[in-house]
Amino acid sequence: MIKPIIIGNWKLNGTQQSIKNFLKLLKNFLIDYHKKCTVVISLPVLYSYLMQKLLFSKNKNFFLGAQNVDNHCSGSFTGDISPFMLKDIGIKYVIIGHSERRFNYKETDRMIANKFYLLKQENLIPVLCIGETKQEKVENNTINICKKQIDLIFDVCGIKAFNNSIIAYEPVWAIGSKISATPQEAQFIAGFIRQYIHSQTKNRIKNFFIQYGGSVTQYNAKNIIQQKDIDGFLLGRAALQIEEFIAIIKTINM
């Protein structure tokens, strides 16, 4: 198995104090685990400096992530943050296409593909979230949905798009629901994703990872990470509780 990559998506959560508490425990833990696992925290970007100051410089396998980015480089886009700005403050991984943004902010596949393109221009690592709704699952449409979400990235960014990037397979019905995909379901789709990306790129792809996300806990993490095509996790709630976060990293390394 390759070194797993675990990304915590804090969403709209966190305070200066909660970050200090979280890092107090994470800091010591990462000293032992830094060779076994790459850990990324995607916290609200305004707290990035604080996290950097408290932890970042001393840990080679710990990185900062963002939860979103604008699909423009600069200009009259009130409230937005550009890929260059993220890079400028030391962010390395950027989640795009999370279902909460697709549904709450009506982000389209094309907008997401434009974000992907701009991130690559800045040498940032896109973490592209894809996955089906409950209805689409019932209609047996998961593969088509995932394929469509991937295809627009190829259209906009070209055949090399997925070098140095991550696809997080996140079934929408599993996010925040306490019902994760089974290890077999996750593997089936992750296997499809890998095979599809390889077939499109004629196997000329480097540093491409597939994560699973959606109700991962310390109890199901081990069975899911053992699947052949799952290289790590995108965690929501589990990344807010330091004890749970650490327990997941420990179980997958046992």
| CB of 130 closer than 8 Å to CB of 167 | yes
What's the distance, CA 21 to chain centroid? Answer: 23
Shortest distance in whole angstroms from residue 66 CB to ligand PGA: 14
Which is the catalytic residue, given 98, 100, 132, 185? 98
Shortest distance in whole angstroms from residue 130 CB to ligand PGA: 12
* Alpha-helical runs (H) found in the chain: 16-33, 48-54, 83-88, 99-104, 109-121, 134-138, 142-157, 183-201, 221-225, 242-252
Which is the catalytic residue, given 107, 132, 170, 185? 170
Structure tokens at 237: 């709630």
Closer Cβ to ligand PGA, 69 or 175, answer by number = 175
| Residues making up the binding site | 9-11, 176, 215
What's the distance, CA 125 to chain centroid? Answer: 10
Residues that bind ligand PGA (CB under 6 A): 9, 170, 175-176, 213-216, 234-238
Closer Cβ to ligand PGA, 82 or 97, answer by number = 97
Shortest distance in whole angstroms from residue 206 CB to ligand PGA: 25
Quick check: is 198 catalytic? no
Q: Which residue is nearest to ligand PGA (CB)?
A: 236
Return the axis-axis angle of helices 183-201 and 142-157, rounded to nearest 10°: 30
Which residues does the annotation mark as catalytic?
Answer: 98, 170
